[in-house]
Structure 1
Amino acid sequence: GRMTNPCDVDIHPLSLQWFRKWLEKEYSSIERLNLQWETLYDGFDTVMPLSFEQVRKNTKKPLSRWNLSRWMDFRHFMDFQFAAVLSELVLYTNTLAPGIPAGFVGGQGPGPWGGYDYAMLCRAVQWMEAYDIHGTNEILRSWWNADRRLRMQTFFSSKNPKLDSWFLWYYMVHGNQAVIAWPEDWFHTGGGDIAPHILANKQTFKEIQGEISKYIVNPKTLSDPDPIGIYYSHPSIQAGWAMDAIVHGKTWIKRTGTLDNENQTMGVLRKVWCKTLEDLGFQYDFVSYLDVEEAKVNLNKRFRVIILPKTVCLSNKEADALREFVEKGGVLIADYLCGILDEHGKGRSQGVLDDLFGVVREESAGYMNGKGLTEIDGEKYKKPYLQRFTYYKNARRYKEIVVFERGTRDSRGANTLMENTLKKGRAVYLNLSPLEYWNHVRRFSIYGHEWRKIISDILSSSGLQPRVRVYENGNSPNMIETLWWKHNDKQYLCIVKNPTEKKELAKLGDAIEGITGQTVNILMKFPNPVELTNLRTMKQLGKGRDFHDHFNPWEANVYWVKDKTFQ
């Protein structure tokens, strides 16, 4: 199938009829639609969607003068249509097999093609096997935590026992209740016997399906993140794809799903923010733009900090909700290009939250080195990751990190880390793009150190500190992720290796072991005294703030934490 390859418009009469009714409900009058689309339709019955090829020809304008509305509205409708059909199938399936959840396999990463708006999909189905592309696993965890709907991954053996073991442990402690195994080509040897690399993990297969998994996969065990939200804006994903596709010219149709997975700026940036927080010892939840738009979430009750990753599209309702979040004491962080387009993809002269952040932008100065808008250049997909940033050359950097908006300033004349207070809260506009953090060399070099310090300082001043710090052979950060789960009055801590990608297989240097490294000694430092028990060995490690233990980088450790401050 085409998966998430560009497949532009569906102009079947039935689809167009549905689209036009949907538009009439969205806009209520043809005059409002014409104003938004800059068109002259007499009525909804003649409205036609726009292909990306027509949109592409107008992307040379300044971003504030872009109007992607005709294209983005149809993409939004196609996402809605896909989710609506899935909802019907789920309801029908439930009549055939009451009590059995209904869902689908093969979920792709968020993008403008194929129907993968996860804010809609999460409302449509009761379980999903989604490839962990651009953070889908953490998105599903965030929105399916309360009722623990089933999440699972597909398992293909790498034929490396340690890497296979890590995969199974990693997704188990991340709350996945199962894996789907496709055994062809790797389960058996040519003679039909079970392959040695499978037999080598006999104990792993047994253990992760035994007692240890019950602590995490129990439907009453819930993820227990820190009060940090990462904003999920699907309109921004659509507009971000358009920015990425500019470099392809007329060949944008050849930007396959595979190419996009490796070069989608919005997707990689989402993963960078996840890895940044994880490296700092925090967990988070994603915030659905639909929940905010529809006032279905109390932001101040759930979050102390909300991060807006390149959230270029924001509606006035979303902006009002985020403004209220700050007024009531929340901390709002935007990296760059915040709210310049509305939720349909139409430009504004100034960002809808510029006054909240206390910034003024001069768009004529351009972005990065002033010569382009695309960050990860998909035309250079065959080159190493760090060589794909065409417009980073000669761009200004702040502590090694690229400054994105050349003409944005605050009242003091600052161009980065601009901060503004409003009533009980504050808003921070970084004007930095941390995309290079996705390269593991950058992640564990001075670049990564500077980036983490910037974010750590903001979180610390917001009253947030990690619940535990883990040191590997005295080194931190160390590619170890800490995850917290709770079951009634019990609290569980899991630690697991957290590579940028599966490339960090051997020792990385700086005393950091890769997944296929050797057993290491770890030190866990808690801010308050706790009692700690290793649930795999059932060894009671005692009471205190500092604990030593052994850790196999290809597995995970699971602990029961007795903490008097836990509620």
Structure 2
Amino acid sequence: MRIFEIQYCRDPHLALLMNKPEGYFPGETLVGKIPVEGTLTGSIQLHWVDAHNRLVADIPLIFNQAKNAFSFRLHLTSALTVFNRLLCKINNEAVAENEFLITPIDKSWDDFHAVTWASYPLGCAEKLAEYGIDGAVTYSASVRNHNLKQFNTTYIDQVAPKAFSWYHRNAAKMWVYDRQPYIDFLNKKAKTDPYFSLPISSLLTRQHCLSEESTRKLIADRMRQTVDVQRKSAPLFFNIADEIGIADQAAPFDFCFCPTCMNQFRQWLRCKFITLDALNQTWESHFSLWDEVFPMTTHMTIQQNKGRKRKNISSWMYHRAFMEKSMADALSFARDIGRSVDSHGRFGTTGLQAPNAFGGWDFERLCRSVDVMIPYNMGNNFEIIRSLNPDLITMSPYFGNSPVLIRHMWFQLFHGDRAFIFWDNHEKDGALLTLPDKRPTYRAKLLGPHLREMQEGIGRMIIHGRRLEDKIGIHYSQSSIHAHWMLENAALGEAWIRRSSADEFIRNEFRKRRESLVFAIEDTGRQHHFRSYAQLKIQGLLPAREKIFFMSGSVCFSESEALAVEKYVREGGIVVADNLLGLFNEHGVEQKEGRLDKLFGLVRQSGKPSKGNIRLTPHAAGLGIMGKEIAFPASERLKATSRAEVLGKSGSSDCLILHSVGKGKTVYLNFDLQDYRDVRHDATHKAGNDLRKVLEALFILAGIERRVGLEDRNGSHVPGLETVCFANQDEEYVTLGYTHPPRLEEGSLGGEVKRFLLKPYDVSVPVKVTFPKKAHLYDVRKHSYLGFKDAHTFTFKPLEAKIFALLPAKVQCLKIRAPKTIHVGHSCVMEVSLVSEGRTLSGHTLHLDVYSPAGKWIYYYSQNITLNGHTGTLNVPFALNDKKGRWKAVVRDVQSGMTETAFIRLV
């Protein structure tokens, strides 16, 4: 048995020793002793006290006269908190204590949490719990962090930021030591020699290059040290680093050209090209040895392609892809090191950007490199993450105290979040409590009631539901993101280097195109998922999984992706493209014809298309697209082949080209979607209505009916309202909330981007919701039964979110079997059953609130459970120092709102 010295002792003649300083698991036995020096007079007691100051147990002491020591054994069966203390008293005066951790065996993340990025002093947990906060950030230095002493829920922040986010944490230094020297060099050397290479290695070497062995050692040392210290505290996750990036988040910069990076890059290229001749042919280069291979920088690529009829950006694209691989590999390496120390730990990263050409933001790679992501909701990154890795856990960060946050929180819960993080550095707009008086701020009063709702069972109900989608696939193409960046920004010349991470988001036409498609699909009442380039290559496309597949902005993709799409169409799938489809091959070399032009039944023509709206032909009505025209101009000059149907024309350009191939069809829109995101809030806008009309026709063609009908009092479209549906066994939950509205944004290059303010969704709207079937309908948030029906009419308020439960049977009551009397220090076990009419309802979520004899809500006894069938067990481990008297337990079925109360007398 190993003994260690106490950490705190008031009496130098008394020590409190335990056998396992690293901590315990529930069910283990704590063995210890209290050596005595000299003579003790009076009584001695030993108490087990937890983080809530509950007296869990009085520990019997046995005196060994020969060793002049007290010994004790404590079986750890009633742990409620991770942090615990042994407190020794003589004559009722505390003389020694020691701390120990009890690590939960079950580390599943099956309930909703809200944590704060702040260090509130001890004694704040109870007040924060009243406003829905159940955890806090902590750091790697010590497992005895005071936040762990009051919260069971913590996460470990910033384990290895030096390797992953040095440039964000040192943004000013980046300008001085990296960007400005490069700009100065471009202004001199590049004027006379645009294809320079040798000096670049020193100018474009990343601090802590992710390919360097020294960086890997830095990551490994930090991960091992931190995880070893903190694993017994059972954190929600370890945050490897915040706001990562190859440079400063998504800011464009040509890192990294250091010798180590280039050597690994060449090895990777050998696997891609096999022979040097193949690389030279693709890159249009003349390397004689593999050791000479050197990619073009952004500046070189822009210069080389000026005035070229067909562009070649292959060298630059391969370097961008390699840097994305480097970032993902480094994160995977950090996670693997963490798992080697804590096999049950979760490892993630926070402050994620949108998919982008710079910074390492290839989400196909990133989604397989970590367990947890906390993205800033931008550029559809949440939808991409849940699509590419459904098992990955997401959370959202929140800043400030705007009422709009209420809308965002419900939106994020419906879109897969299992927790929220609240930035709270005790600023005026960010603090939740004032200090030292612990008074709730406006922010706490604003957001607290909603967080309490989510924590009192709604979050768990949604987490345990299975999200329902509509077999609508969207192509996620990282190579197209690369190609679009060069097409959009080559005209900037050398000014590209001055773009910030914010510019990369704001001035990004490809991102707007993707957002517009996603919003338009959601505005027709359907849900979707993304399929990545890797998934197409490995798994292909199946008509049974994707009835329709959109290739929006897919300007560059691989031959394997093209073959998968062709096979999918022949087998009965429908593929829809907007424009510029496949004009670059997988290497980034522009082609005369698009790779899938033949599949789509079109021929490209030279010249610019007409600027007028697209006129609909009689064939359009056959597809269900009614009217004379749609308010979009043609994007390209195209001619349909003889076997294709032309549903629209703009001058001499064919649009809405419908082509039958095998059992399937293709549709080439030949118009640009990117402005829809800015007009969707206006129900009267013709272009918005026209796009929804076209998509509705395509979904009907694919056999995808709207799952939930949604209309205003006039039967018209309701802007911005989204329905997300979940299934739980034979029940369905329908959620309704506003999507993120557009807003004005500004980038570092100056100038206002044309977007709209937050006003469109700030009005109450009478709406009618039509459900998939007749069912016993419940308004979950109002705890009310609405009847056996398939439709419901109500007024939707600006900051509201609705959750409807469609149950196959009406809930009659809850039954609780609980002891009428129980002794302090004993657990109160309550058997609960859900009674319904006609059939058994199973898998429901129950919430328990416990109140003391004085009527005080005891937050740490409150809990959620998921019923096994229609029954379940609730356990309240009363402490020895809990107040005696009449306690109240209130149990609520979350889906129906049905409640039942039990009274227990504590004696």
TM range (shorter): 0.7 to 0.9
Match among 679, 683, 686 for residue 440 of structure 1: 679
How far does the alpha carbon of each residue in 1:353-407 deviate from its partner, in whole angstroms, 9 at most, with x for none?
A: 0000000002x3146879xxxxxxxxxxxxxxxxxxxxxxxxxx96221321134
Give the alignment of 1:83-122 within 5 angstroms.
83-122=328-367
Cα distance, 1:56–1:466 mapped onto 2, change above 3 Å: same
Are 2:595 and 1:352 equivalent residues in the alignment? yes
Q: Is the 8 A contact 2:368 2:389 kept in 1?
A: no
Match among 255, 259, 275 for residue 503 of structure 2: 259
Q: Which residue in 2 is equivalent to 1:165?
A: 406
Structure having the higher strand fraction is 2
Match among 286, 299, 303 for residue 57 of structure 1: 303
Q: Is the 8 A contact 2:551 2:578 kept in 1?
A: yes
Q: Is the 8 A contact 1:536 1:557 kept in 2?
A: yes
Q: Is the 8 A contact 1:365 1:407 kept in 2?
A: no
Q: Which runs of 5+ in 1 are unaligned?
A: 371-396, 509-513
Q: CA deviation at 1:410?
A: 4.2
Q: Is the 8 A contact 2:514 2:674 kept in 1?
A: no
Match among 641, 658, 663 for residue 419 of structure 1: 658
% identical aligned pairs = 27
SS in 1 for 2:658: strand
In 1: Cα distance, 2:681 partner to 2:634 partner? 16
The worse-fitting range, judged by mean Cα deviation, of 196-205 and 31-40 is 196-205
Cα distance, 1:477–1:460 mapped onto 2, change above 3 Å: farther
Match among 231, 242, 255 for residue 475 of structure 2: 231
Q: Which residue in 2 is equivalent to 1:380?
A: none
Q: Which residue in 2 is equivalent to 1:208?
A: 454
The worse-fitting range, judged by mean Cα deviation, of 95-104 and 497-506 is 497-506
When the two structures are aligned, how many residues end up with a matched partner?
522
- The amino acid of 2:742's aligned partner reads E
How far does the alpha carbon of each residue in 1:477-497 deviate from its partner, in whole angstroms, 9 at most, with x for none?
A: 331100012233332211101
In 2: Cα distance, 1:198 partner to 1:402 partner? 49
Q: Which residue in 2 is equivalent to 1:401?
A: 632
Cα distance, 1:81–1:265 mapped onto 2, change above 3 Å: same
SS in 1 for 2:543: helix
Match among 699, 713, 725 for residue 484 of structure 1: 725
The worse-fitting range, judged by mean Cα deviation, of 65-74 and 492-501 is 492-501
In 2: Cα distance, 1:368 partner to 1:254 partner? 35
How far does the alpha carbon of each residue in 1:4-49 deviate from its partner, in whole angstroms, 9 at most, with x for none?
A: 1111141111101100000001111111111111112223221001
Match among 547, 570, 576 for residue 327 of structure 1: 570
Q: Which residue in 2 is equivalent to 1:453?
A: 693
Q: Which residue in 2 is equivalent to 1:309?
A: 552
Q: Which residue in 1 is equivalent to 2:582?
A: 339
Cα distance, 1:33–1:305 mapped onto 2, change above 3 Å: same
Give the alignment of 1:9-88 within 5 angstroms.
9-61=255-307, 65-88=310-333
Q: CA deviation at 1:525?
A: 1.6
Q: Which residue in 1 is equivalent to 2:736?
A: 495
- The amino acid of 1:485's aligned partner reads F
In 2: Cα distance, 1:459 partner to 1:100 partner? 42
SS in 2 for 1:354: coil
In 2: Cα distance, 1:288 partner to 1:414 partner? 31
Q: Is the 8 A contact 1:496 1:555 kept in 2?
A: yes
Match among 597, 602, 607 for residue 365 of structure 1: 607
Q: TM-score, normalised to structure 2's length?
A: 0.55
Cα distance, 1:200–1:133 mapped onto 2, change above 3 Å: closer
In 2: Cα distance, 1:71 partner to 1:269 partner? 23
Are 2:395 and 1:152 equivalent residues in the alignment? yes
Q: Which residue in 1 is equivalent to 2:430?
A: 187
Q: Is the 8 A contact 1:505 1:517 kept in 2?
A: no
Give the alignment of 1:240-259 within 5 angstroms.
240-259=484-503
Q: Is the 8 A contact 2:554 2:580 kept in 1?
A: yes
Q: Is the 8 A contact 1:170 1:555 kept in 2?
A: no
Structure number with greater Rg is 2
Q: CA deviation at 1:554?
A: 1.1
Cα distance, 1:17–1:407 mapped onto 2, change above 3 Å: same
SS in 1 for 2:493: helix
Q: Is the 8 A contact 1:438 1:500 kept in 2?
A: no
Q: CA deviation at 1:408?
A: 5.0
Match among 504, 509, 526 for residue 771 of structure 2: 526
Q: Which runs of 5+ in 2 are unaligned?
A: 1-167, 169-247, 613-627, 647-651, 745-755, 810-907
- The amino acid of 1:316's aligned partner reads E
In 1: Cα distance, 2:376 partner to 2:610 partner? 32
Match among 538, 542, 547 for residue 299 of structure 1: 542
How far does the alpha carbon of each residue in 1:89-139 deviate from its partner, in whole angstroms, 9 at most, with x for none?
A: 001011222211111111111111111000111111111111111100111
Q: Which residue in 2 is equivalent to 1:274?
A: 518
Q: Which residue in 2 is equivalent to 1:373?
A: none
Cα distance, 1:367–1:560 mapped onto 2, change above 3 Å: same
SS in 2 for 1:88: helix
In 2: Cα distance, 1:500 partner to 1:351 partner? 35
In 2: Cα distance, 1:559 partner to 1:298 partner? 33
SS in 2 for 1:236: helix
The worse-fitting range, judged by mean Cα deviation, of 346-355 and 477-486 is 477-486
Cα distance, 1:506–1:173 mapped onto 2, change above 3 Å: same
In 2: Cα distance, 1:343 partner to 1:5 partner? 24
In 2: Cα distance, 1:496 partner to 1:59 partner? 46
Q: Which residue in 2 is equivalent to 1:377?
A: none
Q: Is the 8 A contact 1:103 1:125 kept in 2?
A: yes
Are 2:445 and 1:199 equivalent residues in the alignment? yes
In 2: Cα distance, 1:478 partner to 1:441 partner? 6
Structure having the higher helix fraction is 1
SS in 1 for 2:331: helix
SS in 2 for 1:477: coil
Cα distance, 1:56–1:398 mapped onto 2, change above 3 Å: farther
Are 2:253 and 1:7 equivalent residues in the alignment? yes
SS in 2 for 1:111: coil
Q: CA deviation at 1:197?
A: 3.9
What root-mean-square deviation, in Å, do the aligned CA atoms of Structure 1 and Structure 2 show?
2.4
Are 2:704 and 1:464 equivalent residues in the alignment? yes
In 1: Cα distance, 2:322 partner to 2:741 partner? 34
- The amino acid of 1:281's aligned partner reads G
Q: Is the 8 A contact 1:496 1:553 kept in 2?
A: no
Cα distance, 1:366–1:73 mapped onto 2, change above 3 Å: farther
SS in 1 for 2:586: coil
In 1: Cα distance, 2:564 partner to 2:782 partner? 47
Q: CA deviation at 1:82?
A: 0.9
The worse-fitting range, judged by mean Cα deviation, of 184-193 and 221-230 is 184-193
Q: Is the 8 A contact 1:471 1:478 kept in 2?
A: no
Give the alignment of 1:501-516 within 5 angstroms.
501-502=742-743, 508=760, 514=761, 516=762
Cα distance, 1:409–1:443 mapped onto 2, change above 3 Å: farther
- The amino acid of 1:451's aligned partner reads L
